[in-house]
A and B are shown apart, each in its own frame.
Chain A
Amino acid sequence: MTQLVWNGLFVGSFYALVALGYSMVYGIIKLLNFAHGDLYMLGAFAGFAILGAVGGVSSSMALPLLLAVLLATMVATGLAGVALERIAYRPLRRAPRLSLLITAVGASFALEYGMRAVAGADPRVYPVRLGGTSLEILGARLTVQQIVLIGVAVLLMAGLNLLVTRTREGRAMRAIALDPRTSALMGIDVNAVISRTFFIGSALAGAAGVMAGAYYGKIDFMMGFLIGLKAFTAAVIGGIGNIPGTMLGGLLLGLLESFGTFWLGGEWRDVFAFGVLILFLTVRPTGLLGERVTERV
């Protein structure tokens, strides 16, 4: 049982990291950024390229090196996210909202198959692997590396939460989420804040990508697709646009999948996860922590 919980939490923390970017971008410009999962893929490949450039390292240096690569990748993916926003989304800021959905799907195709053209369709294997020294805690088997990865994920999420709730930058983001036009009138540089939001969201996805690459080892150009869908689901469960809610949503989805597999077997797992999600949303239509907002007439 504890093993199931642990499995769910570990997978869920990846979902949560990716979902955060989804949620932030949605919160601020109401865009379902379908290319977000592909930024996760981009992160994994960027980390792979950087590691390749660094060359071989002794395994004792693996963890510090990976942390350095993690940071570098976060910057790289963050910049890619900013570029994506500038090219594919900003020109459409005033267009009907679903038009952005199309450019998002277009960007997703372009990123996936662009990467395929560059790196090939064959999966790649990370040169540095986080092996597994396993421990038994409360009947669950887990590894030190898993704990480190969860620790990194929690740190990143806590930092993000601080940023959004405690800083001027965060206040500007929330203001734009509420009303971009008035925010602009109040002297907020809307474009700059949106760019930074994309930077942060994409950097988190990139971090998740490197972590997945280093832990699981295998990366390929389609790896972002499924997790993008999962992250979207997690963001909605938690209450889209709501940061703590999104984190909870990610963890909850991980747990749902873990228990769904246990109760119904692997082939019905997604049916179970989506079924619970649908039931849940019909009972509580604003997600876990989303607030009920009277939609203004």
Chain B
Amino acid sequence: MNGTTGPTGPAEPTGPAGTAGPAGATTTKVRRLGTDSPPSRASKLMQNRWAGLAGLLIALLAPFVNATPYALSVMTSAAIAVMLAAGLNIVVGYCGLLDLGYVAFFAVGAYTSGVLATRFDLPLPATIPAVLVATVIAGIVIGAPTLRLRSDYLAIVTLGFGEIIRITANNLDVTGGPSGIYGIPHLVESPVLFYYLTVVVVSLAVLGAARLGRSRLGRAWRFVREDEDAAEAMGVHTYRVKLAAYIAGAVWGGMAGVLFAAQLSAVSPGSFTFLSSALVLMAVVLGGMGSTPGVVVGAVVISILPEILRDLADYRFFLFGVLLIAFMILRPQGIWPARSKEVP
């Protein structure tokens, strides 16, 4: 695509062979809600619907297989990870902007809702409007000055913002300093109900992200991802389009933060390190960038794999690393990649 400073978008599929291979994967039924690129035939739509429904069904039936507190906690975390991945997918997958500090928005959401809930005794749902406002502002503050940067410079700037948010939360008194805030009221008392609530919210979020991806705006995102200069030349206001992606991603991350605060009842800076950002990004890439079912599967894998490996104690993260390498070598395009580019 170009010379020394790197391709336009880091997310762009390299080479013609890059993503064309799995294009034929018309997908049998599998995971959760949503479709990806515009279906050219009704049957495809049906299949994707089925895939989504099947996924939702699995998520809904899972507690009937195993409803121990541990399983519920892991599954709830996985659902929240799915929401985060769906949000980051808008930024990285659709729009091709490499974001290494995505948990900044997660933190903004969790802290805003946690602080409001504990200091002003608001019920969590009442904090949602404030979280919306806060995340949109955060998206603009972080996005506006930086989105003119390209690829890797954008990556380091987002990484920097992620660290700035975490350190600020660690240093301020209103955020409870290093130990964070605690005693956030639960949304619902029963973990099972909370799990179902999370699944419903996350499903809506995933569906919403997928719809957004297929909208007019979504097409503009993809255009920017594939070739920013051409998009600009064709009259797409690339800066505004990128900012929109950023804000959408921020809102998704913030909402996931509310769920996170509700699940754990405590929020501390340790949850928003660079590593967490990297893990969300891994979920997106592992699943298949730009593919809704892909990122859902990716997020589930990234959050459940370390739990499966928990009993290996010392070897847990060693094996996790090795498995990640093996995964990518076997399926470089992701577990469930997006169906190539726009339909010609």
A91 to B320, CA, bound (A): 19
Interface code A206-236, partner B: CB below 8 Å = 1, 0 otherwise?
A: 0000000000000000000000010011001
Q: Assuming A295-B150, A297-B227, A297-B230, is B157 touching A278 (CB within 8 A)? A: yes
Question: Does B67 lie at the interface of the complex (its beta carbon under 8 Å from any beta carbon of A)?
Answer: no
Contact of B323 among A87, A106, A108 (CB under 8 A): A106
Interface code B160-183, partner A: CB below 8 Å = 1, 0 otherwise?
A: 110110011011000000000000
Ordered by A's residue number, 24 sampled pairs between the chains whose C-beta atoms are within 8 Å are A30-B6, A94-B332, A96-B285, A98-B285, A99-B328, A102-B286, A109-B321, A110-B325, A112-B317, A113-B316, A117-B318, A232-B159, A236-B153, A267-B171, A270-B167, A271-B163, A274-B161, A277-B160, A278-B146, A281-B146, A281-B149, A281-B153, A281-B157, A285-B148
Interface contact A113-B282, CB-CB below 8 Å: no
Question: Does A268 lie at the interface of the complex (its beta carbon under 8 Å from any beta carbon of B)?
Answer: yes
Number of interface residues of B (CB under 8 A): 67
A97 to B282, CA, bound (A): 13
Q: Assuming A113-B317, A293-B5, is B278 touching A236 (CB within 8 A)? A: no
A236 contacts across to B, CB distance below 8 A = 152-153, 156
Q: Say which one of B10-18, B45-53, B245-253, B260-268 lies at the interface with A.
A: B10-18
Interface contact B333-A297, CB-CB below 8 Å: no
Question: Does A152 lie at the interface of the complex (its beta carbon under 8 Å from any beta carbon of B)?
Answer: no
- What 4 A-B pairs have minimum CB-CB distances, sorted nearest first? A109-B321, A106-B324, A95-B332, A110-B321
Question: Does A63 lie at the interface of the complex (its beta carbon under 8 Å from any beta carbon of B)?
Answer: no
Question: Does A124 lie at the interface of the complex (its beta carbon under 8 Å from any beta carbon of B)?
Answer: no
Interface contact A178-B3, CB-CB below 8 Å: yes
Q: A98-B92, A296-B1 are in contact. List 8 more A-B contacts (CB 8 A).
A: A91-B329, A97-B7, A102-B286, A236-B156, A270-B164, A281-B149, A282-B149, A293-B5
Question: Does A156 lie at the interface of the complex (its beta carbon under 8 Å from any beta carbon of B)?
Answer: no
126-153 of chain A: CB within 8 A of chain B = none
8-33 of chain B: CB within 8 A of chain A = 8, 10-15, 17-19
Shortest distance from the beta carbon of B195 to any chain A beta carbon, whole Å:
28
Question: Does A125 lie at the interface of the complex (its beta carbon under 8 Å from any beta carbon of B)?
Answer: no
A78 contacts across to B, CB distance below 8 A = none
Question: Does B2 lie at the interface of the complex (its beta carbon under 8 Å from any beta carbon of A)?
Answer: yes
A157 to B118, CA, bound (A): 53
A108 contacts across to B, CB distance below 8 A = 321
List A residues at the B interface (Cβ < 8 Å): 26-27, 30, 32, 34, 87-88, 91-92, 94-103, 105-114, 116-117, 177-178, 229, 232-233, 236, 240-241, 267-268, 270-271, 274-275, 277-278, 281-282, 285-287, 290-291, 293, 295-297
Q: Assuming A95-B14, A106-B323, A295-B150, is B167 touching A268 (CB within 8 A)? A: yes
Question: Does B190 lie at the interface of the complex (its beta carbon under 8 Å from any beta carbon of A)?
Answer: no
Interface contact A241-B5, CB-CB below 8 Å: yes
Interface contact A293-B167, CB-CB below 8 Å: no
Shortest distance from the beta carbon of B240 to any chain A beta carbon, whole Å:
17
A interface: dominant SS = helix
Contact of B328 among A94, A106, A110, A278 (CB under 8 A): A106
Interface contact B4-A87, CB-CB below 8 Å: no
Contact of A268 among B10, B171, B321, B329 (CB under 8 A): B171
Contact of A103 among B1, B4, B329, B333 (CB under 8 A): B329
Q: Assuming A96-B333, A107-B325, is B167 touching A295 (CB within 8 A)? A: no
Shortest distance from the beta carbon of A43 to any chain B beta carbon, whole Å:
19
Q: Assuming A30-B6, A270-B163, A295-B1, is B315 touching A113 (CB within 8 A)? A: yes
B289 contacts across to A, CB distance below 8 A = 96, 98
A297 to B230, CA, bound (A): 7
Interface contact B229-A295, CB-CB below 8 Å: yes
A285 contacts across to B, CB distance below 8 A = 148-150, 153
CB-based nearest B residue for A286: B5
A240 contacts across to B, CB distance below 8 A = 5, 152
B163 contacts across to A, CB distance below 8 A = 270-271, 274
Interface contact B13-A96, CB-CB below 8 Å: yes
Interface code B118-157, partner A: CB below 8 Å = 1, 0 otherwise?
A: 0000000000000000000000000001101110110111
Interface contact B157-A113, CB-CB below 8 Å: no
Question: Does B281 lie at the interface of the complex (its beta carbon under 8 Å from any beta carbon of A)?
Answer: yes
Q: Assuming A103-B328, A277-B160, A295-B8, is B2 touching A287 (CB within 8 A)? A: no
A229 to B274, CA, bound (A): 9
CB-based nearest A residue for B329: A91
Question: Does B314 lie at the interface of the complex (its beta carbon under 8 Å from any beta carbon of A)?
Answer: yes
Interface contact B149-A232, CB-CB below 8 Å: no
Interface contact B156-A103, CB-CB below 8 Å: no
CB-based nearest A residue for B316: A113
Interface code B305-332, partner A: CB below 8 Å = 1, 0 otherwise?
A: 0000000001111101111110111001
Q: Assuming A178-B3, A241-B5, A278-B145, is B315 touching A117 (CB within 8 A)? A: yes
B230 contacts across to A, CB distance below 8 A = 297
A241 to B323, CA, bound (A): 30
